[in-house]
Amino acid sequence: MPDRGGGPTGPRIRAAGRPSRRVRTLLLTLGVLAVLGMAFSMFAGFWTNWLWYRSVHYSSVFTTTLWTKIGLFFVFGLLMAAAVGFNVWLAHRLRPPLSAMSTEQQSLDRYRMGIAPYKRWLLLAVTALVGLIAGASAAGQWRTWLMWVNGVPFHQSDPQFHLDVSFYAFDLPWYRFLLGFGFATAILSLIAAALTHYLYGGLRVTSPGARATGAATGHLSVLLGIFVALKAVAYWLDRYGLAVKSSDFKATGNWTGLRYVDANAYLPAKTILFCIAVICALLFFATLWRRTWQLPVIGFGLMVLSAILIGGLYPAIVQKFQVQPNEQAKEAPYVQKNLKATREAYGIDDTKVTEYTGKSTTTDKTRLRDDVDSTASIRIMDPNIVSPTFQQAQQMWNYYAFPTNLDVDRYTKDGKVQDTVIGLRELNLDGIPKNNWINDHFRYTHGYGVVAAKGTEADGQGQPVFTESDLPSTGDLGTYQQRIYYGEKTTTYSIVGGPQKEIDYSDDSGEKTTSYAGRSGVSLSSPINRAAYAVAFNEPQILYSGAIGEGSRILYNRTPKERVEAVAPWLTIDGDAYPAVVDHRIQWIVDAYTTSNGYPYASRTTLGDTTADSLTAANNSRAVVAQQNQVNYIRNSVKATVDAYTGAVKLYQWDTADPVLKTWMKAFPGTVQPKSAISKDLLDHLRYPQDLFKVQRELLTRYHVTDAQTFLTGSEVWQVPDDPTNKSGNAVPPYYLSMKMPDQSGQAFSLSTTFTPNGRNNLSAFMSVDSEAGSQDYGKIRILKLPTGTTVDGPKQVQSKFNSEQDIAAAIKLLKGGDSEVEYGNLLTVPLDGGLLYAEPVYVRGAGVKYPLLRKVLVTFEGRTAFEDTLDEALNKVFGSDGSGTGSSDTGTTTPPTSGNPTVQAALDDAQKAFEAGQEALKKGDWTAYGKAQDDLRDALKRAEDAQTKANGKGGGTTPSSSPSPAASPSGSPGSGSSPGSSPSG
């Protein structure tokens, strides 16, 4: 019997395994702290994002995006939860009063009894889960929603259904999302209702009697009817989807839009299936009265069979027996629609294609030599090679660095526009004396100054001719704010403006400090802000460091592309942001695109692949930042600037006719300034963007053709050649160059490229686009199409001939002597008097000095080739201004190489031996022996030149100008003419 009290009680014995009150309290406390920690971590991410957007004055982007996501989350989350919850509740309400006496139902009784006390909570949990999933999925469609709500018309119609393009670009994606959401809701509701009916006896699997009650039959039939009705809507929308459907077409490759089989088989099939699905849905709804599934099941089976026969088999028969026997005739009208739409969607419909002979008809070489100077400002400073030279000459301190690839811009000096290679001396944290938290984030915070050089000149040592240099930078650019807090290499955060002084720069008088005076960044004066950033950046020192105080501000998201992408998340960002001095400030200029994947009949392209070339392969930071990688419509609709000192981001409307941009400007009013707000100084530095040009040139390899029959034969397909200056196997990048096309009256800053026939290396076309933003012809694409009946050397063939010329090969072998490396610069192509002039700078990285110096220039025109110390000498040689080039100026045929002259070859052999002796002496530090070797080298070269000149007088050979002069000895060695700072020990 239990003790009912009255006597003394012993100590209460704790139940086995149950934790003590102290442990329970501790666990509860830890649980609360964990929840609070997670909550504050989420708050920190939200709060720091809000503070950043407010600091750049684009808080409306943050709030519009946030409220759109929240609205979509709750609306569609609640709809899904309500639909599923209602159907579960309805199935429970329609349960039979008595369950059948069977083993199946007896087993289910145990489950029903087990969940009976928790039915309400279980229902809430299930509906909350499906609601959260649906809401999160819907929130990700914020772009689709905003484009649907704010869409503006294109005022262009598709050729099949005659609907405005905006229906496909803005409306159809939203309708498809709604349809997908409807399918998900119907399926989940059907599953939830069926499980509830089964659990409560409305559906039976093994029990005797009817398999379903009348109530369950009616309920599930309605849900199936809704599903089939949605399928009918899907069939109807699929009709319009054919206009933007991608498929493989053997004749053209990637294809978008209707073909013959789509218009004559799939389109009527979708219409028929729509009607069948509507009838089938009505049959399912009729079970509310008939209480039998016989007719709905028959109708559903008919719909499935029709989908197989009408939607699958019939189009295959049409393709096999109608299209394939006469494919070109059947497909030509649809190909013509694709040609027109694709050219419009990519902005290449106004491309001017001109026949070009590829052969000069002028015999007056002196006039041709004069024409070169007026035709092009040939750039021999390759911005993709000379960065190490900038680094060597202008780095000044290890904590500064230049980007791997410099940029080309235009600046005016004495009324003359000069192509200029430009780079910023940015912060390099890897080069600071000692890495620690204070140095990395407080003391070394910014770069300093612009360094610029003439693109068309080099000094006597092969170094750039700087127009802006030194520290602080001085030169042609005048006065401007030189501190660079935002740049391509600035990828970490800095805390500025507080008690901790920053290193500004150092000179002969010592180290100079500064304190950031801009209003950029987020204030850390508030403890809440400090705590939030300590959590967001996982850096607790931000919370308690004494280096942070009144006036401290944190700068982050500091690369130009990163900032533009953040304030305009609907834009696709060009891979190459470039700096310019504009209105006495350094501004990063960023090209941005609006894109769409819903332009009817326009073929799609993959941005990541189309914009890749030999430069992006070597430098991932030059890759395009795409919101959607596959597109079939693109416009350079926005020009953006980022101030290198304040980080201020400004977006300017560039394409005033672009309906996609107009749509986003409606969605985010006030974020994009009108085109009229662009200053004259800024306009002078805007240019045609590279990534858009690369997309267009890839499309023009096929879509330069406007005739459907020619397009289908594939006889006019071109390809972008591989970069001949390296072995990467990647496409040659386009080049900026001031040049004059045959129909232009003067030089214009242009972006150009070449094409070769598909699978071959000879030249098929030359393409150029006017890149001067202020010119009337800006954006005009010109293509010079070479005749198919004659062969003109392409870039790879020109490079191969450069390398195979015996006298050039011998000279390059000398340049490679010792530890020196030879690098080929950009191979530039210039149309000249019906022919094509190629020019290529050749750089040498001398032994002991790992930066390139311009040593030679290769030039070829109509079979005449020169390899000289300077561009002028090479041009003079090619055009016979001082004799003849390596080819005959009359016939363009190559004359016998120097190896055919024993005297010349012997002199060159002596030059090689002298060069190698000099290298050996240089390694040993024996300057006496090195000087003697240099004298021997000069003597040998002089003998070779005299012998070749004598041979030329007899009608053979070339001058040994292709052999290295003493100036071509390794940079940094005595007698090489290098600067004092480039000695071998340095």
User: How far is Cα 846 from Cα 859, in angstroms, rounded to an integer?
Assistant: 23
Does the pLDDT of residue 443 top 90, yes or no? yes
Q: pLDDT, tens digit, for every residue of 169-190?
A: 999 999 999 999 999 999 999 9
CB 839 within 8 A of CB 830: yes
User: For 702-712, what is each residue's pLDDT tens digit?
Assistant: 999 999 988 88
Look up tokens 């400030």; give the residue: 585
pLDDT tens per residue, range 49-62: 999 999 999 999 99
Q: What is the pLDDT of residues 514-523, one digit of tens each?
A: 999 988 999 9
- Amino acid found at 723: D
pLDDT at 880 over 90: no
Q: Which two tokens stand for residue 703?
A: 């879509």
How confident is the model at residue 8, as a pLDDT? 45
pTM for this structure? 0.84
- 970 pLDDT band, cuts 50/70/90, is very low
pLDDT-derived band at 881 (thresholds 50, 70, 90) equals: low
Residue-wise pLDDT for 601-641, tens only, equals 999 999 988 988 888 877 777 788 887 788 999 999 999 99
Q: How many CA atoms lie within 13 A of 489 on its CB side?
A: 23
**Least reliable range by pLDDT among 206-215, 388-397, 721-730, 860-869:** 206-215
Residue 218: predicted pLDDT: 87
d(CA 711, CA 714): 5
Name the residue with higher pLDDT: 917 or 640. 640
Q: Give the confidence band of 7 by pLDDT, cuts at 50, 70, 90.
A: very low
Give 203's pLDDT tier (boundaries 50, 70, 90): confident
pLDDT, tens only, 570-611? 999 999 999 999 999 999 999 999 999 999 999 999 998 898
Distance separating alpha carbons of residues 791 and 148, to the nearest angstrom: 52
Contact yes or no for 275/214 (Cβ under 8 A): no
Q: Residue 975: its pLDDT value, please?
A: 36
pLDDT of residue 961 exceeding 90: no
* pLDDT value at 891 more than 80: no
Q: 482: which residues sit within 8 A by CB, 6+ positions away?
A: 448, 449, 450, 472, 473, 586
pLDDT of residue 495: 95
CA angle 978, 983, 986 (to 5 degrees): 135
Give 845's pLDDT tier (boundaries 50, 70, 90): confident
Look at 579 and 819; give whichever has higher pLDDT: 579
Instruction: Pick the closest to residue 134 from 173, 187, 208 (CA basis).
Output: 187
Instruction: List Cβ neighbours of 847 (8 Å cut-off, separation of 6 or more).
Output: 818, 819, 820, 919, 922, 923, 970, 972, 973, 984
Residue 296 has pLDDT above 60, yes or no: yes
User: Is the model's pLDDT at 649 over the cut of 60?
Assistant: yes
Residue 8, amino acid: P
Lowest-confidence pick of 57-71, 536-550, 604-618, 642-656:
604-618
Quick one: average pLDDT of 346-368? 89
785-814 pLDDT, tens digit per residue, is 998 877 888 888 888 888 888 888 888 888
Q: Which of 332, 329, 225, 317 is nearest to 269 (CA)?
A: 317
pLDDT band at 24 (very low <50, low <70, confident <90, very high): confident
pLDDT at 792: 87
Cα distance from N-terminal residue to C-terminal residue, the chain: 101
Is it the case that residue 9 has pLDDT exceeding 60? no
CB atoms under 10 Å from CB of 274, counted, come to 19
The answer to whether 943 and 910 have CB atoms below 8 angstroms apart is yes
